[in-house]
Structure 1
Amino acid sequence: MNSSEVAILGFILLFPVVDFINEKYKSNNKIFEYLKIASFIWLPTIFLVYLYSDNKLSVVDFGFHIENNWQNILFISLLFIAIIYLFLLIRSIISSEELRAAIKTKTESFKDLLPETKNEMLVFTLIVSVTAGICEELIFRAYLFTLIDNHMGIVAAIVLSSIIFGLWHIYLGWQEVIRTSVMGAIFCCIYIITGNIIIPILIHIFVDVYSGLMFYFAVRKSDKIIN
């Protein structure tokens, strides 16, 4: 393991501390915060991909290929069904005050992160969600999970990589750490079953887009009113 890979691992382990400090100096401009978070995550990801392309990582296969097998067909089909369900759910949210109230209550603890205006929704969907899906899956599943698996076995890889993934969200509280750790374990399983990183990336993006759009349509505010 060379010094560059050690630096990447150090960043992965120390990022929760950096993020926790950053949270204390957060501005009230959500779009600015979205772009700042995306930048923080893209920088190490680009470095990681560079090391991977230059054969300077212990992990030599990120699983960028998708084979034509039943596992991949199943997950892609489920993703399409989930997208259709999301559109139907949005229609229900728009027409149901009761459903909007339930979503507001459910997302109260992290509403400061979710989009309320059209511009916030677009940046959250196209930049934050895509960034999280690509960068976090490459860092935690393609790289960290595989690295630990190579040295300690698959169970340890799922547990440790998922816990570290959860700790990246510690600024949201321990309940969110537990929730995202569980989600991390699920993404690990999808990665194992499909044998590629593309499908976990697409599903991760969908999960984040799903959360953002549900909140937006539950509490959306007119840009005209806000401005």
Structure 2
Amino acid sequence: MKTMVYLWGATYVLTYNFKITDLLSTDIKVAFSWSGFIASIIYLLIPFLEFILLKYNKDFREKGKEQFARRSFIFPQNFKEEFVFVLLAVSVGITEEVLYRSFSLIYFTGAPFNLGLFSAFLCINLLFGLVHYLQGPQGILSAFLNGMASTYIFLISGSLIIPMLIHMLYDLRIIIWGRMIR
């Protein structure tokens, strides 16, 4: 619960002077690219292939059990923890997307940094990856790549709602994953 309080608190403090509509959309547009869009969608769907592998591949399931055991301190272990995890996933999906896709994009492309879009894009997602350090090097890389895909989708769609929903679903898959290997 502390994590949710910290996330909502940080989001409130950093975005206090912004209108919600300014945070949920962007005027910054990038040229639509089918290859970039398809690559983003494929990357975001790959984790859901885990479910197929967990169901039908014994070696993958055993490795999954080992990974789950190593990260049991952050993964839900029972129904009560799963309920709290759902609340956390929704909170994280909203707050991290507001902070790392919208606010950070506005902040890094404006004063005092005045970074170009590409540089801001990289900085934002590098930071996003690094805040997932508890998940280890693989978690940092995964968060960085997910952030890149989500930022691209935010920029081509102009809406933060899609990345928020993707983020929530991505985090909620942990509950299904955990149930499949227990």
TM-score interval for Structure 1 and Structure 2 normalised by the shorter chain = 0.7 to 0.9
Closer/same/farther in 2, CA of residues 140 and 188 from structure 1, 3 Å limit: same
Counterpart-to-counterpart distance in 1, 2:160 and 2:56 = 37
85, 101, 105: which one aligns with 2:62: 101
Could you say which residue in structure 2 is the equivalent of 1:44?
10
Provide the aligned length of Structure 1 versus Structure 2: 161
Could you say which residue in structure 2 is the equivalent of 1:156?
119
Aligned-pair CA distance for 1:175: 3.2
Could you say which residue in structure 2 is the equivalent of 1:134?
94
TM-score, normalisation: structure 1: 0.60
Aligned-pair CA distance for 1:132: 0.9
Q: Deviations over 1:22-80 (max 9, x none)?
A: xxxxxxxxxxxxx12111111111223432139xxxxx822349xxxxx9xx99xx8xx
Computing the radius of gyration from Cα coordinates, the structure with the larger value is 1
| Moved segments of 4+, more than 3 Å | 105-109
Could you say which residue in structure 2 is the equivalent of 1:213?
176
Q: Which amino acid aligns with 1:148?
A: F
1:116 aligns with 2:71: no
Counterpart-to-counterpart distance in 2, 1:168 and 1:175 = 13
Q: Please, what is the CA RMSD of the aligned residues?
A: 3.0
Counterpart-to-counterpart distance in 2, 1:174 and 1:102 = 17
Q: Which amino acid aligns with 1:147?
A: Y
Structure with larger RCO (C-alpha < 8 A, sep 6+): 2
Counterpart-to-counterpart distance in 2, 1:206 and 1:104 = 21
Counterpart-to-counterpart distance in 2, 1:108 and 1:155 = 38
Aligned-pair CA distance for 1:104: 1.5
Secondary structure class of the residue paired with 1:62 = helix
Could you say which residue in structure 1 is the equivalent of 2:133?
170
Could you say which residue in structure 2 is the equivalent of 1:9?
none
CA contact (8 A) 1:145 1:188 kept: no
1:179 aligns with 2:142: yes
Closer/same/farther in 2, CA of residues 175 and 135 from structure 1, 3 Å limit: same
CA contact (8 A) 2:101 2:151 kept: yes
1:199 aligns with 2:165: no
Runs (5+) with no aligned partner, structure 1: 1-34, 55-59, 66-70, 220-227
Overall identity of the aligned pairs, in %:
24
TM-score, normalisation: structure 2: 0.74
Runs (5+) with no aligned partner, structure 2: 27-31
Closer/same/farther in 2, CA of residues 109 and 182 from structure 1, 3 Å limit: farther
CA contact (8 A) 1:129 1:205 kept: yes
Q: Which amino acid aligns with 2:103?
A: Y
CA contact (8 A) 1:166 1:177 kept: yes
Counterpart-to-counterpart distance in 1, 2:129 and 2:167 = 14
Q: Deviations over 1:131-174 (max 9, x none)?
A: 11000000010110232234211111111001111121223333
